[in-house]
């Protein structure tokens, strides 16, 4: 039996359910996703099976937007959700659960890829629904006509007040880069750099500026003008270091996970490339913050004081030497790439095989999908680790202070549980989002 519910919780108030799918099942042949979600303790993997594909909270914490569709509920076999048309779409609701309204149709681009070897490769955690800084607009990826008149992945925006939908990019046809599943998205991760600029990653090749078809970082104005591809991202040569010659002048730095050339020094499941953390400011000042040469350095976040960056990685940086197990940890660094700190010390095995990419024991546990409360500065993150002895076989949302102190568990999902009759049931959070504290 399968069921999904979207719940909103404000502070210590009881959660409010704003959307729920019908209970479906039992359905034969569901072992693939059941195994991946529950044994890997990866709740966001439900997007390959259930209806809620993405969630975002407005910058003021007053409203929530979420995407619902049953068009992608097929892994490993189709799930007959049979949602009526009025229950599918992009929806807006107040944080107290009132005022639910439909903004328009759902995205027709799935935020995941299905791989034969490892199941679901999730792209949804890369902020697929993003509010503008003023909270008036949502950016995401949808199917739309490109410059040649053919349909493909494009960046679109929706006005939260009116529901007006606007296509921002008109990229040429593209395919996922070599080594990626053929059904991987060709555009992902659109995020507002400022009110008028959106950054995103794409394998498209406009004006022959990306002839190898790699995922590269691009920016574009919200009116569709000023496409900049690829951005002049500085990359350190193997064995080299980044020289700090960049001037950060703006007051709205954003972080982006960037694919850089080379083979990672680790070999995490689902990924065969190097990812590093970059900070981008004013749409043109770019600085590489990490140089770990690993395939699982991502989930970055700028502190509310705009001076430090938080991110997850399985690296054991030479200057720290505090993560010999290679488990997924939460790190911080200042916006100029200095003062690297390891904030967590999670481990479930002497050597984690999968780092921040895989979740199945005995490979280790992981940390991901970061948020921050702007009032208390508490960091919130999703993790399959069990640092408090209360999460032995599942995943939870945790909170802690920016220096790594005050760790506490915010959710109490059951995880994978064997029932009295010998059957197993699983309950995990995800996808999830967090917004600012509202008293």
Model confidence at 361, pLDDT cuts 50, 70, 90, reads low
pLDDT in tens, 160-184: 999 999 999 999 999 988 777 787 8
Identify the DSSP state of 105.
P
Mean pLDDT of 193-202: 89
Residue 242: pLDDT over 50: no
Share of the chain above pLDDT 70, in %: 82
| Mean pLDDT, rounded, for 396-423 | 88
Judge if the upstream peptide bond of residue 362 is cis by omega within 30 degrees of 0. Answer: yes
- The whole-number average pLDDT for the span 361-382 is 84
**409-421 average pLDDT score:** 84
- Copy the structure tokens of residue 425: 């049931």
For residues 327-352, average pLDDT: 92
pLDDT of residue 244: 34
Q: Does 150 score more than 60 pLDDT?
A: yes
Stretch 426-439: mean pLDDT: 75
303, 309 contact by CB (below 8 A): yes
Decide: 163 and 226 in contact? Cβ < 8 Å.
no
Mean pLDDT of the chain: 83
The pLDDT assigned to 95 comes to 92
pLDDT band for position 237 (50/70/90)?
very low
The pLDDT, as a whole number, for residue 401 is 96
The reported pLDDT for the residue numbered 350 is 86
pLDDT for the residue numbered 330: 97
The pLDDT of residue 38 is 63
Which one has a higher pLDDT value, 51 or 422? 51
More confident residue, 85 or 267: 85
Q: How many helices (H) and strands (E) does the chain have?
A: 1, 28
Split at pLDDT 50, 70, 90, the class of 249 is: very low
336: exposed, middle or buried (Cβ count in 10 Å: 0-12, 13-18, 19+): middle
What pLDDT is recorded for position 29? 53
Cα distances (angstroms) measured from residue 217 to each of 187, 199, 234, 379: 10, 7, 12, 26
Is 246 in contact with 335 (CB distance < 8 Å)?
A: no
For the ranges 30-44, 124-138, 373-387, 413-427, which has the lowest average pLDDT?
30-44
Q: What is the pLDDT of residues 261-311, one digit of tens each?
A: 788 888 655 556 788 998 877 656 778 899 999 988 988 889 988 899 999
The confidence score (pLDDT) of residue 46 equals: 76
């Amino acid at each position: 039996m399968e069921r999904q519910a979207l719940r909103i919780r404000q502070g210590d108030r009881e959660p409010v359910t704003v959307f729920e799918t019908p209970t479906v099942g039992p359905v034969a042949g569901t072992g693939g996703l059941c195994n991946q979600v529950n044994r890997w303790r990866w709740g966001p993997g439900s997007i390959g099976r259930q209806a809620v594909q993405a969630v975002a909270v407005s910058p003021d914490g007053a409203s929530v937007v979420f995407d619902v569709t049953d068009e992608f509920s097929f892994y490993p076999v189709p799930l007959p959700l049979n949602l009526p048309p009025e229950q599918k779409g992009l929806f807006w609701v107040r944080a107290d659960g009132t005022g639910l309204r439909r903004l328009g149709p759902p995205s027709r681009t799935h935020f995941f890829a299905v791989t034969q070897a490892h199941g679901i490769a999730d792209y949804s955690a890369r902020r697929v629904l993003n509010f503008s800084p003023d909270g008036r607009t949502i950016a995401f990826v949808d199917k739309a006509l490109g410059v040649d008149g053919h349909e493909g992945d494009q960046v679109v925006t929706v006005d939260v007040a009116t529901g007006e939908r606007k296509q921002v990019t008109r990229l040429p046809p593209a395919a996922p880069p070599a080594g990626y599943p053929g059904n991987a998205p060709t555009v992902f991760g659109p995020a507002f750099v400022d009110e008028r600029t959106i950054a995103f990653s794409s394998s498209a090749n406009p004006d022959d500026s990306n002839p190898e078809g790699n995922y590269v970082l691009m920016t574009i104005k919200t009116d569709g003008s000023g496409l900049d591809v690829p951005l002049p991202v500085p990359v350190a040569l193997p064995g080299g270091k980044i020289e700090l010659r960049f001037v950060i002048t703006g007051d709205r730095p954003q972080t982006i996970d960037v694919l850089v050339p080379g083979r990672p020094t680790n070999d995490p499941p689902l990924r065969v490339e190097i990812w590093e953390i970059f900070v981008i400011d004013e749409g043109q000042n770019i600085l590489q913050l990490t140089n770990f040469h690993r395939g699982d350095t991502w989930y970055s976040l700028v502190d509310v004081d705009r001076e430090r960056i938080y991110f997850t990685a399985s690296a054991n940086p030479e200057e720290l030497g505090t993560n010999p197990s290679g488990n997924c940890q939460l790190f911080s660094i200042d916006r100029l790439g200095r003062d690297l700190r390891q904030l967590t010390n999670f481990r479930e095995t002497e050597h984690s095989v999968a780092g921040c990419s895989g979740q199945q024991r005995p490979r280790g546990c992981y940390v991901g999908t970061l948020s921050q409360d702007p009032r208390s500065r508490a960091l919130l993150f999703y993790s399959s680790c069990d640092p408090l002895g209360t999460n032995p076989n599942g995943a939870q949302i945790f909170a802690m202070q920016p220096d790594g102190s005050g760790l506490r568990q915010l959710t109490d999902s059951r995880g994978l549980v064997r029932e009295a009759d010998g059957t197993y049931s699983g309950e995990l959070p995800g996808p999830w989002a967090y917004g600012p504290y509202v008293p």
